[in-house]
A and B are shown apart, each in its own frame.
Chain A
Amino acid sequence: MKKSMQEMRVVLRNAGKIDPVKVEDYVAQGGYKGLQKALSLSQDQIIDIIKNSGLRGRGGAGFPTGMKWSFTKGVSADQKYIVCNADEGEPGTSKDLQIMKFDPNSLFEGMAIAGFAVGATYGYIYLRYEYPSLFPLLEEALKNARAKGYLGKNIMGSSFDFDIEIRSGAGAYVCGEETALIESIEGKRGEPRYKPPYPGVAGLWGKPTVVNNVETLVNVPQILVNGAEWFKGIGTAACAGTKIFTLCGNVAKPGVYEFPFGVNLKTIIEEVGGGVANGKGLLAVQTGGSSGTIIRADQIDMAMDIDNCAKFGASLGSGSVLVIDDSNCIVDLVNNLMEFFVHESCGKCTPCREGNQRLLEFNKKFVDGVGTQKDIDQMLSLSDTMMQAALCGLGQASPTPVVTAIKNFKDKYCKHAEGGKC
């Protein structure tokens, strides 16, 4: 008999245990020990620890965090910034909300360590507009942390200054893309910039800027306290540490769960989520958010880490797991997703601005039962171009549900093409 799944809470370790706005509560749980440790080390030593830990970005792309920091550390500038990407706009993802709601100080601490490591004295939390309850909570928590000397001038008696400001998003999905986010903080239209230069070299106000996801930063203090080896011991060889998964859709027990990387998707859905809700059958799962892959029920026996997912033709992305029961229609689902991307494309580059609308139009033909094989060919050809030629991750990833749905549910599309419904 299989043992029931146990969560492993590294990032969410304090959730429910402390009053989130009280810095004393956080400190009582060992909070700010990571920062204290960091202040006793050199910048390079900290970056080496993060590099050795194998920490990778939790926003979706999985870029090695230590390497990202080393780029910014390596540039000399009169001002550098730490920007926390808290614009958690990926549909079906709610992890950053939970972290910030239950343990904001762990984020502040992570940002301060990042700041010290790269030579930044100021940080911004770019907070999702749709999280209104978090604004007063974070402000209160910041105020208390400052009052106790964990932020502001001469932090913890050192010569290091670091403070944090909260900036609100305005509801645009694309502002989760790091350069669009930076444009938005600068007060401009949320549109991605051409890279290079990367933000690490020229980011906010043209200054070297580290942009990290909430979950990434919250791992940092724990790594400082417990060491790189400890962190590497969690998860898989390529993906160290834990990952927070948001289990949603037609699942019996939706929620936010933290597991070491490498956890089996099937296990998450069946054991943690209690399987498909209301006794229905499993049709499909979409992993990694709206621009993630749509896979069949027979494809879910898969270890969830970034590289393994990719190997299986799936995506881990933000850690969202959308369970789709067999009362749904894949073609309808894709239509819904493409409507989302048509709404959220910023309109800057041709492939995304024009392409998403055209993919939607073609998909609609199948919804209406008038699609043809030629239409499928055109959808795949256009998707291919968008994935290679769009300016930012939004347009490069938005065709993923189309491509994977056609690949994994070709029979459904064929049925629709013949005028039928699935």
Chain B
Amino acid sequence: MTDESRLSCEQVLEHLLEYLDQELTAETSAEIDRHLAECRGCFSRAEFERRLKSRVVQTGTASAPESLRARIKALIERF
């Protein structure tokens, strides 16, 4: 890869969330990977966003109440 094709920090940050969402092409993702391997500032930012995203994912699991468990059991018994 030539220096001309390297991404700037601004370009990396612009696409960072799509990168974390795996919504970029393999080529662009690889360019961001290379940038993050060399740039401490962008790497710290990417890791922060990754951890925050992981915390958001965790909010999608919550202990189901007994009332719901009983309701689902009764529902399936009727199937």
The finding on whether chains A and B are genuine partners in a shared complex, rather than unrelated, reads no
Binding site for B on A (CB under 8 A): none
| Interface positions of B (Cβ within 8 A of A) | none
